[in-house]
Each structure stands twice: as C-alpha cells, then as structure tokens.
C-alpha cells in the first residue's frame, strides 16, 4: 500500500519519489469473497473494460494480480481458441483458488503463474496486453515490476491499469492508501518507460489508463 498522500506530499520537497508500504499478504478465502461477489459486476463493469481493450482472438495477455480469476476467465474467453492468458499472483493460495475456478469454468487456455514481489515471471517480448486491476498500488517493488512488465510486452503491447480515484468523492469508501490520482500514476509510469495513450473515465469509482511502451532512451 502507499503511504497516505497527505504525508507523501510533505516529503515530496525532499524526495520526488512515490513510496510503497509493505503490507501483509491477503487472506485468500476472505479476498475471494470480495472478488467473486455477484454485486461486483455492477460497479466493475468487466464487459465494458474488456471491450475497451479491443482484444482479438489469438492474443496473449497477462492478468497481473489475478486473484480468484475474475478477469482471467473473461479474458480467456476473448482470446480463445489460440490465445492464452497468464494469470499471475504472488500467493500460492490465490493460485490454487484461481486454478480451481478456471478448471470449473472449463477453460484450457489459462496459464497460472506464481510470481514474486519483484518479478511476474512472464516471458519476454510476448504479450499483447497486461491488465492490472486494483493491484498496482499494492506492489512492494514497483520499479522492478514495471521494468519486468515492459520487458514482457511485444513492441506494440499495451498495459491497462485500473485504480480507485484518489480525488473526488466517488471512492471515499476505499481507504486513501488504496487510491491513486492520475498525477501519481504518471509520476511512476512515465519514468519507467511507458506513455499514456488513453484514459477512460466510465467506471463509477476507478480511473482506467492505457499505456504503451515509450521509445527506448
């Protein structure tokens, strides 16, 4: 989690970096209840999110911080039959839950991946898309992860990033440490070699950014 931004802004004069707090692993069972809540579709709008990506059959996608596979299962159907989805999480318990959910859904084009705090363990130069939904702010080593994500993308690959809004009132039910503003996102992603190409604001409580690789310096 990030430190509260009211405190970070006070430190910004001395250090122009965004810090991440370390936090305990999520409880897989409790987290699944939230991720798989039937009411989630009403505010997460998964169909609209995926349609905005204009995914094509045969593409290769990574769902980073896949959790129970809420988005993984939907992405797998979009890229079927020749495409695949790498479902990445750093908790073995979540990988087990995800694997069971994928098998229950009868999906055969999902590759569960147990990543680490600094490496999602994705093949280089292979991905058309990487999706991160409410997970980026939790990364304990964001610089390393951004570098590994950039390496995993094909030259034309893109990243879809969804995070709760820090500003305004639409996400006040979410703790401040779990929310981000566009300014904060760009302050971390642009120096890491990404360029914002699109920003959607149709989600009720979340920002939705689309990044591509910026040219190598």
For 81-109, write each residue's pLDDT tens digit: 999 999 999 999 999 999 999 999 999 99
| Helix, strand, coil tally for the chain in percent (to 5) | 35, 25, 40
What domains can you pick out in the chain, each with its CATH number?
A: 44-213 (3.40.50.150)
Which of the four pLDDT bands, split at 50, 70 and 90, describes residue 20?
very low
**The pTM is what?**
0.86
Mean pLDDT of the 14-19 span: 35
Mean pLDDT of the 28-56 span: 86
Block residue for tokens 């994705």: 122
């Amino acid at each position: 989690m990030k430190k509260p931004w009211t405190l970070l802004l006070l430190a910004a004069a001395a250090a122009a970096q965004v810090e991440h707090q370390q936090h305990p692993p999520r409880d897989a069972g409790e987290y699944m209840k939230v991720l798989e809540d039937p009411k989630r579709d009403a505010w997460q709008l998964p169909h609209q999110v995926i349609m905005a990506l204009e995914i094509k059959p045969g593409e290769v996608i990574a769902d980073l911080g896949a959790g129970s596979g809420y988005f993984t299962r939907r992405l797998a159907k979009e890229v079927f039959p020749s495409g695949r989805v790498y479902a990445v999480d750093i908790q073995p318990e979540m990988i087990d839950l995800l694997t069971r959910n994928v098998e229950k859904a009868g999906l055969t084009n999902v590759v569960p991946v147990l990543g680490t705090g600094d490496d999602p363990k994705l093949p280089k130069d292979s991905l058309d898309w990487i999706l991160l939904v409410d997970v980026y702010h939790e990364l304990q080593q964001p610089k390393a992860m951004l570098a590994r994500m950039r390496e995993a993308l094909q030259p034309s690959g893109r990243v879809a990033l969804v995070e709760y809004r820090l500003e305004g009132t639409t996400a006040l039910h979410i703790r401040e440490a779990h929310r981000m503003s566009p300014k904060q996102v760009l302050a971390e992603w642009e120096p890491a070699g990404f360029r914002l190409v699109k920003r959607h604001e149709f989600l009720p409580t979340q920002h939705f950014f689309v990044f591509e690789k910026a040219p190598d310096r």
